[in-house]
Chain A
Amino acid sequence: MSLILVFVDNDRGSFSPTGPEALTPAQSLADHLGARLEVATVGEAGRTALEQLGLPGHVVSHPILSDYAPEAYGEALAQLADHVGASVMMAAGDDRGAEVMAHAATVLDRPLVANVTEIVTAEETGATWEMMRTRWGGSLAEKTRLRSSRKLLTIAPHTFPAPGPGANPPRPADIFPPELPEHLARTRVVERIRLTEGLTLATAPVVVSGGRGVGSAENFAILEELAELLGGVVGCSRVATNNGWRPHSDQVGQTGTRIAPDLYIACGISGAVQHWVGCMASQQILAINTDPEAPLVTKADYAVIGDLHEVLAAVIAEIRAGKP
């Protein structure tokens, strides 16, 4: 019986938000192939979370693995894959999943297919598979063919729902002690710097975002004012970052932050694909633009055609007038 091994990363005991998503396509694949599904996490801190999944599990444990250390994680998972005889290994394609799987693939000398969204044909684990994966941060799809007796994949984040809690009754996990050379501790986290912040782009219920149409750093003041009134934060497009109007930490998009607020208010943003992939998960999008043909206007749920400065000033006045 072939074996599918899923790596779910934990950070000091907690799974990443997207980490368990890889279990959903892995379970479907296991059912389809009649394969066994096993899960792994690194470090004893992750044991409780792993055991709650209720699947045959392995806690990879070694003194070097006391904190995130991608080289050592990859080496250790490659050893586990060999130890259990995994013919398929999967993880979420988030920052750590992608990084650890790239290390594991290199150690195992195998290809790695990144950001898979669908496994199209997989008749048996050793055969050639066809899969769909994302390019351009999700703006483009690629059908890809993988020829390898052992397959390593990352799953595109936000493609599959994570299994619900309590899908299986909890069960105790094994411990797997890898053999790791001392020098692999060289890429371990040595320090954490906590920034005291309230809302962030990733968590705010509303993001008021500005692009080329805003025109200057000073002109963002009115976006700040609206964001504060609504209990949200300010975002921006790449143009605003490149012009030095806003810090990169405000940037929404393929190379910035991907957001999913209740409402995204896009002011003076035309909407190149790299921006769209960063905001498309928003519940509702309101575009404010002078150009009714701007791509973001045509893709938005709501639009106001006009100068963003005029529109925002009127909206703020209306809100203030309505407040007792």
Chain B
Amino acid sequence: MNILVCVKRVPAPGARIVLTDDGQDIDTRHLGFTTSPHEECAVEAAVQLTEKHGGSVTVLTLGPPEAVEQLRYSVSVGAHRVVLAPAPTTEWDPEATAAALVEAIGQLESDSPFDLILFGNESADSGGYQVGIRVARALGRPVINGLKGIEINGGEMVGRRETEEGYEVYRLPLPAVAGAKEGITLPRYPTLPGRLKSRRATIEETPVHLTPGAQEMVRLLNPVEEQTETIILGHGAEAAPGVVRLLEKVGLL
């Protein structure tokens, strides 16, 4: 069971996203970075599948040199092999991203195809909702998005997708591609041995071509937010009568 997980390094914003003056990027001078949440869960799901069925987990990222931080983190939580496809800029459209990943996957699959390639359902930052699907179609493999559960049964991937009334079940023949959603499983925290291992891990590099696509970001803007005048109902337990009056006003009591 050899699994590839494609991840993206994204900033970890707090209560407000601050932009650079030219509106071309998020001001990240005071921010940490993380793995896009759906993808962090995809890495965990992949590690759990190899713990059950054997095999290995490879994590690939298309990103700046600093994305090795996210690759090392992947090793600390169980990934076996990590690969950076260096990107010269920070903005690429979804078609360009997919084409570069297909190129990288082609190089990684010189021996045999991965049984399973996992993506996040969408990236936390640019959120194009399409890269995994474009890659799968280019590789000629079946793909399903939005999975909240994943199992391997013989030569099939069994995926569960949440709906308003419960779950839908899909069965895809391997090799297959899937988009995971946060909640597919709970990511583990790195252990001390995991952290030590991640420091020694070899970061492989795969050069790819990034050609500008037909969709171009002009600039980023903070959405206009309604200014809310917050009514303070009180402090501590003495606020209870005010809260009850609010509950009555809303019609809940």
Contacts and interface: CB of A to CB of B under 8 A. Distances in A.
Given A140-B222, A263-B250, A301 B231 contact: yes
B216 A319 contact: no
A155 to B, nearest CB: 12
Contact of A134 (B26, B127, B214): B127
Interface string B100-133: 0000000000000000000000101111111001
A194 interface: yes
A319 B247 contact: yes
B89 interface: no
B190 interface: no
A287 B127 CA distance: 29
Interface stretch (B49-57, B71-79, B194-202, B234-242): B234-242
Contact of B133 (A102, A305, A311): A102
Contact of B239 (A98, A102, A270, A306): A306
A318 interface: yes
Interface stretch (B1-9, B61-69, B80-88, B167-175): B167-175
Given A147-B214, A193-B166, A273-B17, A255 B38 contact: yes
Contacts, number: 270
A302 B146 contact: no
A230 B253 contact: yes
A202 interface: yes
A284 B162 CA distance: 27
A105 B130 contact: yes
Contacts of B127: 114-115, 134-137
Contacts of A110: 214
A254 B230 contact: no
B134 interface: yes
A287 B252 CA distance: 17
Interface string A194-232: 110000101001100000000000000000000000111
A322 interface: yes
Tell me if A's interface is mostly helix, strand, loop or mixed: mixed
A310 B228 CA distance: 26
Interface string B12-31: 01111101000000100000
B182 interface: yes
Interface in B165-221: 165-173, 181-183, 186-187, 213-221
B129 A262 contact: no
Scoring B19, B237, B251 by chain A CB atoms within 10 A of each residue's CB, the highest score goes to B237
Given A306-B239, A314-B237, 18 more contacts: A71-B143, A99-B129, A102-B145, A106-B134, A111-B94, A113-B215, A136-B13, A136-B124, A139-B13, A140-B26, A140-B220, A195-B165, A206-B250, A262-B252, A300-B230, A302-B233, A304-B233, A318-B240
Interface of A: 68, 70-71, 93, 95, 98-99, 101-103, 105-107, 110-115, 130, 132, 134-148, 154, 186-195, 200, 202, 205-206, 230-232, 238, 241-242, 244, 248-249, 251, 254-256, 262-263, 270-274, 276, 283-284, 286-287, 292, 295, 297-307, 310-311, 313-315, 317-319, 322
A134 B129 CA distance: 12
16 contacts: A71-B142, A102-B133, A113-B215, A114-B127, A141-B220, A146-B214, A147-B214, A190-B170, A191-B169, A195-B167, A292-B232, A303-B231, A303-B233, A306-B236, A314-B239, A319-B253
Given A111-B95, A255-B37, A262 B170 contact: no
User: Lowest 5 A-B CB distances belong to which pairs?
Assistant: A248-B183, A295-B15, A306-B236, A102-B130, A314-B237
Nearest to A95: B146
Contact of A299 (B163, B228, B242): B228
Contact of A310 (B125, B137, B237): B237
A284 B250 contact: yes
